A and B are shown apart, each in its own frame.
Chain A
Amino acid sequence: MSGKVSDDQPRVGFNGAGALSHVYIQHPPLTCSISGARGLFYDDGNKLLIAPVLNEVFSWKTSPFTSFHDAPSSDTLGEGPVLSIRYSLDGKVIAVQRSNHEIEFRNRETGECFSQRCTSESEGILGFFWTDCPSCDLVLIKTSGLDLFSYEAELKKLRLVEAKWFNVSWYVYTHESRMVLLSTGMQCKSFSALQFSSGGVIRLPRFEMTMTKAEANNKPVLDADDVHIVTIYGRIYCLQVDRVGMLIYLYRFYRDAVVQQGSFPMYSTKIAVSVVDNVLLVHQVDAKVVILYDLFANSRAPISAPLPLLSRSLPRVAASSSQICSPQALHMEVTEVSVDEGKIYGDGWTFLVPDLICDVTHGMLWRIHLDLEAIAASNSEVPSVLEFLQRRRLESKKGKQLCLVIMRTIILERRPVSMVAQAFDVLVSSFAHSMKSGNICTDRSISSGSERAPTSDIQDAGISGTAANEAISRVKMHGKSIGKESTSVVDNEALNLDMASLINNSSSLFSDSDEPSAHMDEFQSGNQHNLTAKEGGENQTSTETSATDMLPTPLQSEVLGASGNALDSNTSGPQGSQVACVAISPDEMFSFVFALVEDEMAGDPAYLCAIIVEYLRSATSEKLRIPPNLYVMTVQLLARNERYAELALFIINKILEPSKEVAFQLLESGRQNFLIRKLGLDMLRQLSLHHDYVLILVQDGYYLEALRYARKNKVATVRPSLFLEAALSSNDSQHLAAVLRFFSDFIPGFKNTADHSMYCRILNERS
Chain B
Amino acid sequence: MQLCIFDLRRGQHEGQELDKILFFFPADCSFSMQLSVIGLSEGLITFTRIFSPEAACEVIEAERHSHVFYQAEPDIWMVMVVEKNKESEAVWRSAAVQGVLKEVHSLFTMFHGSVRALLEKQPDGGLARSHLYSFIMDYLNDFFVGKKLQLPSFRDCLRERGTIQMLTIGREAAIEVQSLVRVLESSCSGNTPCNSLILFQDLLVSTTLSPDDTANLFTYAVLRLTPHALSYNMNSWSYLRKGTAASHATVHSSLPNPGSTSEEFQYSSRDTSPGRQGSGYQVPRPLKRDKWSKGKDGFLVTDIWGSDAGCLNCATPTVWLQQTGECVYLSIYQHKNLTIIILIPVSSFINGEQGISWVKQQLLQNASLKILKVEERLSRGWGGENAYHVSGYRYLLADNDRNTSRASPPGKVTTLAKKSLLALGKLREEVDLEKGRAKRDDPGHEKDLEVCIRANNNAWIIARSTRGKELYMVLEKANETLLYASDAVEQFSNRYCDGTFSID
Contacts and interface: CB of A to CB of B under 8 A. Distances in A.
Interface string B178-205: 1101110110000001000000000000
Interface in A131-162: none
A654 B186 contact: no
Interface stretch (B96-104, B166-174, B259-267, B295-303): B166-174
Contacts of A705: 448, 466-467, 503
Interface in A142-187: none
A674 interface: yes
Interface string B466-486: 111000000000000000000
Interface string A374-406: 000000000000000000000000000000000
B503 to A, nearest CB: 5
B346 to A, nearest CB: 19
Contacts of A712: 503-504
Interface stretch (A201-209, A304-312, A362-370, A641-649): A641-649
A609 B193 CA distance: 13
Interface string B197-224: 0000000001111110010000000000
Residue of A606, A609, A649, A709 contacting most chain B CB atoms (<10 Å): A649
A645 B208 contact: yes
A657 B172 CA distance: 12
B127 to A, nearest CB: 33
Interface in B449-500: 466-468, 498-500
Contacts of B171: 620, 653-655, 657
A417 B186 contact: yes
B53 to A, nearest CB: 24
B209 A701 contact: no
Residue of B175, B207, B445, B468 contacting most chain A CB atoms (<10 Å): B175
Interface string A653-695: 1110100000000000000001100100010011000000000
Given A606-B182, A645-B214, A657-B171, 9 more contacts: A607-B186, A609-B182, A616-B175, A620-B172, A653-B169, A675-B402, A686-B499, A701-B444, A705-B503
A507 to B, nearest CB: 36
Given A417-B182, A613-B182, A645-B210, A682 B175 contact: no
B172 A621 contact: yes
B176 interface: yes
Contacts of B87: none
A457 B46 CA distance: 59
Nearest to B209: A645
A415 interface: no
Contact of A614 (B179, B211, B214): B179
Interface residues of A, number: 37
A653 B174 contact: yes
A759 interface: no
Interface string A607-639: 101100110110011000000000000000000
A563 B402 CA distance: 68
Given A682-B500, A708-B503, A649 B206 contact: yes
Contact of A685 (B172, B207, B499): B499
A686 B495 CA distance: 12
A678 B468 contact: yes
Contact of A648 (B366, B402, B444, B466): B402
Contacts of B445: 701-702
A650 interface: yes
Contacts of A709: 503
B28 interface: no
Contact of A649 (B207, B401, B448): B207
A649 B174 contact: yes
A108 to B, nearest CB: 63
A674 B402 CA distance: 11
A653 B167 CA distance: 10
B401 A613 contact: no
Contact of B183 (A417, A620, A653): A417
B211 A708 contact: no
A418 B180 CA distance: 11
